[in-house]
Structure 1
């Protein structure tokens, strides 16, 4: 069954003075889809999320949200909720009072029952009457999600929703997002956590310096990593190293080049998936027991680093402008 588009952007462009934050960005998000938005600092993620929430307007291109064209005014269609740069909350009010105040501002009255249900969904029932000023970062993130749930959104936009979450809080957030998507809500979330992308997202858009460098499924993104370093633990390390040295297409990085393991019993090899599979067959044929085989850097993370030119640590003008925004 084909879903209708919740977001359709074509050639979106946004500048801040001389800084180009978004440069011809295309974005498609279907109803019922969790779409990941990733990229290094300064890539344009925050700017794009702000456009989806009506906090800014594009300088060029076209954007449709829930079937309605977005013009050059600070507004988006009803049915959109979320937060960027952290949720806006009243620190002197309790969690329940915050939700009641937000519901009242939106014209829904006190909506006590709705607030209690939202708090339960994100796992904050036990602290519903505690003042928000004492909340941790993760608790604030969950309360921000609860506030978004009050509107029964058709498009939910979340900026780093897993930031500061402990395992229990992360489980609550993942459960809420998965349920919303199953009910037809489109979710766009930014994250630096590759495990969140793998667990939640069906498709991902990767931004770098304001441009799309990848858009597609999570599984397709993983294949973009190409050759990876894999760590092997075997029953006979010396024999394993000899077998690896004779395997075609396989590299054995030096232990001093930053890729090798620190313990003497482990071996690091480099190659594409078919080459690693061939190595496993060769080890078994040689009578070497394989006890552990895992990528040194997970495939999604490796693909992200390759696509975005990882390793560049100097902040650009775009970095500073977007961080300030």
Structure 2
């Protein structure tokens, strides 16, 4: 038996007065997929999340969630959970009381509450009042509230807001496990590193329209020039190899902080930073040349990731329109 997609949207349009928030949006999200949703402010992300959570209804187009057509507000099927613009919590109640109240409203028992609190790493503060929680702790409690329903589709808006590195790692682990167990997760974030670390596919919105949707790996064509940071064991040979490789454009070099000049950097084992612009094939040839000349590559990374580059390009395009 075929499993229906978690989300299938076709030509979805939503207007608020004369403002077109979504304009013919198509979206496909499979079960078990971590799907990123990004775009400049005003691109329509919050409106789309609201439709998926049943907080509003599309004006035109079709929307299916977990195999069920959705044509009116508050009509999403069971198995959908999440939050937009931060979770709604009772500040005068404790974390455990918040989840107990939510479970009671839904007619659920309370046996899962401790499990949900433990999953998001809040066991030590389960009986503390939420008014004293940091933003990151509130975000994790909102995630725990969503987990109570054992969702098949989880919608999260800026879930890493306020999280310290340990908290972020914990949340990453929870979301990765949910996806591995078959839950579809749609994650909207302005943090490109979050989306790239977690999501296999991404949808980029701009002025209410889909500018790109698909695997993150397809964002940058092999024929597209990107800027890369390159650190080598021999700065002189590295620079020479860059200049000698067709298709490599050398932007700048920078010596390591504790190296007085290029010769010192080479002799002491310090590295020099090269910034080059290249297509993927040209970059491959550059690395091969370095290897042939016995130069070690200590670092090779894009200055700006393909996802961030696409986001910046859309933002700049909006500002010029």
Q: Which residue of 2 aligns with 1:322?
A: none
Q: Give the secondary structure class of the aligned counterpart of 2:250.
A: coil
* Preserved contact between residue 225 and residue 303 of structure 1 (Cα < 8 Å): no
Give the CA deviation at 1:261: 5.1
> What is the CA-CA distance between 1:287 and the residue it aligns to?
4.3
Tell me the equivalent position of 1:321: none
For residues 54 and 225 of structure 1, the distance between their equivalents in structure 2, rounded to whole angstroms, comes to 41
Q: How many residues align?
A: 307
Tell me which residue corresponds to 1:320: none
- SS of the residue corresponding to residue 86 of structure 2 reads coil
In the other structure, the counterpart of 1:248 is: 246
1:217 maps to 2:224: no
1:13 CA displacement: 0.5
Q: Is the contact made by 1:225 and 1:302 (CA closer than 8 Å) also made in structure 2?
A: no
Cα distance in 2, alignment partners of residues 208 and 225 from structure 1? 24
Could you list the per-position Cα deviations for residues 82-109 of structure 1 after superposition, in whole angstroms to 9, with x for gaps in the alignment?
100000000000000000111111222x
Using the alignment, how far apart are the partners of 1:301 and 1:98 within structure 2?
37
User: For residues 309-324 of structure 1, what are the structure 2 equivalents within 5 Å?
Assistant: 309-310=315-316
1:104 counterpart = 2:104:
yes
Match of 1:278 in 2: 285
Q: Which moved more, 1:227-236 or 1:82-91?
A: 227-236
- Check if 1:73 corresponds to 2:73: yes
TM-score with structure 2 length normalisation? 0.88
SS in 1 for 2:77: coil
Does the 8 Å contact 2:242/2:286 carry over to 1? yes
User: Secondary structure of 2:111's match?
Assistant: helix
Aligned to 2:266: none
Partner of 1:34: 34
Q: Deviations over 1:279-299 (max 9, x none)?
A: 122233344443332222233
C-alpha deviation, 1:3, in angstroms: 4.2
- What is residue 119 of structure 1 aligned with on the other side? 117
1:170 to 2:168 alignment: yes
SS at match of 1:20: strand
Q: 1:23-61: per-residue Cα shift (whole Å, max 9, x none)?
A: 100011112222111111111111100000111111111
The equivalent residue for 2:58 is: 58
- Post-superposition shift, 1:312? 5.5
Which position in structure 1 is the counterpart of 2:274?
267
Contact preservation (8 Å) 2:81, 2:149: yes
User: 1:171-250 counterparts in 2 under 5 A?
Assistant: 171-223=169-221, 226-250=224-248
Is residue 133 of structure 1 aligned with residue 140 of structure 2? no
Aligned-pair RMSD on alpha carbons? 2.3
Compared with structure 1, are the counterparts of its residues 236 and 30 closer, same or farther at alpha carbon in structure 2 (3 Å cutoff)?
Answer: closer
Question: Which runs of structure 1 show a deviation greater than 6 angstroms over 4 or more consecutive aligned residues?
Answer: none
Structure 1 SS opposite 2:6: strand
- Structure 1 93/224 Cα, relative in aligned 2: closer, same or farther at 3 Å? farther
Instruction: Give unpaired runs (5+ residues) of structure 2.
Output: 262-271
Q: Contact (CA 8 Å) 1:229, 1:271: kept in 2 or not?
A: yes
SS at match of 2:112: helix
With normalisation by structure 1, the TM-score equals: 0.87
8 Å Cα contact 2:159/2:187 also seen in 1: yes
1:86 aligns to 2:94 (yes or no): no
- The 2-side partners of 1:239 and 1:179 are apart by 45
Kept after mapping to 1: 8 A contact 2:222/2:279: no
Give ranges in structure 1 of 5+ residues lacking alignment: 317-325
